[in-house]
Amino acid sequence: MVVWSLLLFSVATANDLTAQIRNLQVITEDYPPLNYFQDGELTGLSVEILQLVYDELGVEFPDIDVMPWARGYHLAQSERPVMLFTMSRTPAREPLFQWVGHTHSSYSFLFTFVGSGIESYNPRVDHTERVVAIQSDISQYAMEELGYPPEKLDLVDSPETLFTLVSRQRSRLFSLSEAPYRTLVKLADEQGFALRLLATTRETRGHYAFSFGVSEDVVNAFQAALDRVRPEQETILKRYNMPY
């Protein structure tokens, strides 16, 4: 009788955990090559790793809401059960979310385009120029951590908007993390102009961030599953030429 009761309890607990995972609102942004659309399907480094995690958990892969980062960032701080990815873990963000990771390592860069008139620029000491960054993104926080004046940051809603400003040369300095910067370098080459890297502003690691509306059991289950798929994760990272 005791064994049977324990078995029923274990099954009920597992079913409850699965139900909680299925109830998550999973949010990301269009941020190549981490998360992006290809032939109408959402893919990318972080999406592929998340697929591994869901397979390991034995739960069907969810429909993912793709929205501007600032909106997703706001929702992930609500009482709803939300997962937002891929987020760089910083001291300022640490108490705002529950964390599962890491997915990959990365850097943030300050750059300009060749022909801008800027040959060098040290954002740690020089604050004369305005800098374009993505709102609520590590590209914004990396500059602020250096002590760059917030009033000198022009915040946009997405990498796509920042890409447009670069290609049209609407500003001279831009802050961006490594993954989308690599994509932008390729786009610049295709469009016949070149970028100049001016400074590395931060080293960071990507994570899946969970709201506090998500139970600790769910967060722990995701972390354990991610740990178990580490070999497959590293295979994906090699394919994207990104370090762990």
Share of the chain above pLDDT 70, in %: 95
Q: How confident is the model at residue 43 (pLDDT cuts 50, 70, 90)?
A: very high
| Average pLDDT score over residue span 41-58 | 98
For the chain, list the domains and their CATH numbers: 2-105+205-239 (3.40.190.10), 107-203 (3.40.190.10)
- What pLDDT digit, counting tens, does each position of 93-147 carry? 999 999 999 999 999 999 999 999 999 999 999 999 999 999 999 999 999 999 9
Q: For residue 9, what pLDDT is reported?
A: 45
pLDDT tens figures, 165-189: 999 999 999 999 999 999 999 999 9
Residue 13's pLDDT band, with cuts at 50, 70 and 90, is low
Chain segment 229-242, per-residue pLDDT in tens: 999 999 999 999 99
Q: What is the mean pLDDT of residues 54-71?
A: 97
Q: What is the pLDDT of residue 8?
A: 45
- The yes-or-no verdict on residue 5 having pLDDT over 70 is no
Mean pLDDT across 42-55: 98
Residues in Cβ contact with 123 at an 8 Å cutoff, skipping those fewer than 6 apart: 110, 131, 143, 146, 148, 198, 199, 201
**How wide is the angle at C-alpha 97 spanned by C-alphas 91 and 99, nearest 5°?**
85
- Six-digit token string for 100: 């599962």
Do the Cβ atoms of 26 and 100 come closer than 8 Å?
no
